[in-house]
Amino acid sequence: MITNLVQYIHERFSLKASIAISFILFTAPFSMTNFQFAGLLAGVFSTFSFLLILRIVDDISDRRVDEISHPERGLVSGRIDVRKLKYMIGLIAGFVLIMNTELYLILFVLATSCYYALYFRYKRRISIIFQIPFINLIFFLIPVYAGIRGSARTEWPLILMGLFTWFSAMAHDIAHGIHTQGESHANGRDFSMTLGPNHSAIVAAGVYLLAMCTGMAFCLCSRNSLIFILLLAGTSVQIMYLCKNLIQNPDQPRATPFYIYGFTFFLIPLTGLMLENLIFKIMLNYGDSIK
């Protein structure tokens, strides 16, 4: 069973990138709470597990589509045993529950699990346009989870951060998948072909603008966010430049840069916030120790 999971991660879930993303997504909001090292490890592991399980289940649900557009993938070709991979999902989910033993954390994990169970059950009935916000809701929930783990509650700044990461993830999914009719996947059923590449590029730019607005609102509601807003200003200029090019020519070559820069748009400011808060806490503890 483990071999199937390792093969899947190697093919579809870059370990280095996923660990880094999980660490930043959880630690940035967690650094604003009652920071504890044990809670950090459990939170990062849980975040990584959330993202891994979602990727696996999403790929399993898309096997019929991938038989046409991506027949080389292990889940489609049979190199990866779907049944054994499902067993590994159950095992990972068990470890997540062990890492979240407090009642409010257990309730959060169960509520999140129920939400995604319903989503994947009815996914085929949901318009492709609405699937993107539904599947990416985890990016909103992670800051909420960090607040609950660190302080047993989530306040407005973390909710705004959740909106910032959620909008950013949605815009990334829309932007990097844009292509013309001639570049279309064999199945032809995706956001770009449903809404059209021109309209998709405009929607992506609009959602990025929403992310910028919620990022700025987060700064107004929180402290120690100077580095965050400076880095967000820099990544916003870059992403708007890419969006301008994409709107002018909505095709795959201009969509490809969003694979990386769509993530760095929000991960770089979050990294700055994380470092700023951690340095502040270290200096505060050091000042208390020498009094």
Domain of residue 254, residue span = 155-291
pLDDT higher than 90, residue 289: no
Asked if 96 and 203 sit in the same domain, the reply is no
Asked if 164 and 122 sit in the same domain, the reply is no
Task: Name the average pLDDT for the chain.
Answer: 91
Asked if 8 and 131 sit in the same domain, the reply is yes
Integer Cα distance of 90 and 30 in angstroms: 26
Domain boundary among 96, 128, 148: 148
Tens of pLDDT along 226-257?
899 999 999 999 999 999 999 999 999 999 99
Domain boundary among 133, 148, 163: 148
Q: Percentage of the chain surpassing pLDDT 70?
A: 94
pLDDT for 290 equals: 56
Asked if 107 and 166 sit in the same domain, the reply is no
Asked if 47 and 189 sit in the same domain, the reply is no
Tens of pLDDT along 17-52?
999 999 999 999 999 988 788 899 999 999 999 999
Count of domains observed in the chain: 2
pLDDT for 141 equals: 97
Phi, psi of 13 (to 5 degrees): -145, 75
User: Average pLDDT in the 209-215 region?
Assistant: 97
Tens of pLDDT along 246-285?
999 999 999 999 999 999 999 999 999 999 888 877 776 6
Instruction: Specify the range with the lowest mean pLDDT, choosing from 68-72, 101-105, 196-200, 201-205.
Output: 68-72
pLDDT higher than 70, residue 185: no
Integer Cα distance of 76 and 140 in angstroms: 30
pLDDT confidence tier of residue 178, bands split at 50, 70 and 90:
very high
Tens of pLDDT along 127-170?
999 999 999 999 999 999 999 999 888 889 999 999 999 999 99
Integer Cα distance of 25 and 268 in angstroms: 11
Integer Cα distance of 273 and 268 in angstroms: 9
CATH of the domain at 117: 1.10.357.140
pLDDT for 288 equals: 52
